[in-house]
Amino acid sequence: MSDEVVRVRAEPLEPAFAEALATWAERLGLACDGEADFALQLGAQGLQLLQLGPDSPGPVRVDFVEGAVAHRRKFGGGSGQMIAKAVGVQPGVRPRVLDATAGLGRDAFVLASLGCDMTLIERQPLIAALLEDGLTRGRLDPETAPIVARMQLLQANAIERMRAWAGEPPQVIYLDPMFPHRDKSALVKKEMRLFRPLVGDDQDAPALLEAALALASHRVVVKRPRKAPVVEGPKPSYALEGKSSRYDIYPKKKL
């Protein structure tokens, strides 16, 4: 997590959204005026986070209905995608997956769209709020509602939650720790610029991996930039490598 104190204020984009945004502000402990580095805004397109100042990369929101996520759902390659192979999606097998570093939920949505039951953990409250809002709007669309129904969000510290897990463990745990991603897409670069002041780099990635290996019943998958070192700790048994990303696989038993 970042050690910097980041100031965030709540701003309705139109007066009609002031009351709903005030509820979010109370939940998140945000002021509604004053100097700030970020603004949490609410408008017709939902909740969004904007970095203030002349170098702002623009607002970020979660949208499972339209845009890049919808395009990937329709044309992304289905169960042939590398992430699907990494978590063990195969004919007749749709593992229960815990995404312990959910972020904006894109990877979890892809896996849910393929039929996996997903639990998402996001520890940064503002990012979790964006994700919660996106899931709420996703439930209102007939195409995405059945997918979002397979996604359960927890706002929590993933390491603590995994160590104190009660009930049936997830078959697969998926980790994507913050790292200087080499992905060249404008979308990812924009989000990395926005989120780094809020979350920093995951200095506790080794502890995340340790907790995941202790909990998962079948395998742990760690997403990394293609040329990044493996997370400190036990070495993966094998990896799947793409153009910009790599999936390090830690199998425990066959799915």
Q: Is 93 helix (H, G, I), strand (E, B) or coil?
A: strand
Of 195, 175, 185, the closest CA to residue 246 belongs to: 175
106 labelled as ligand-binding? yes
The structure tokens listed for 82 are 């590398």
Distances (CA, A) of 94 to 82, 111, 162: 15, 9, 21
202 is in an annotated binding site: no
Place of tokens 């996996």: 116
Residue type at 227 in one-letter notation = K
The dihedral sign for the CA sequence 43, 47, 51, 55? negative
Sheet of strand 46-51: strand arrangement: 8-12, 38-43, 46-51
176 is in an annotated binding site: yes
- Rounded CA-CA distance 232/31 in Å is 39
Which parts of 176-251 are beta strand (E)? 219-225, 238-241, 245-251
Sequence ranges of the binding site: 106-107, 122-123, 176
Sequence ranges of the binding site for S-adenosyl-L-methionine: 106-107, 122-123, 176
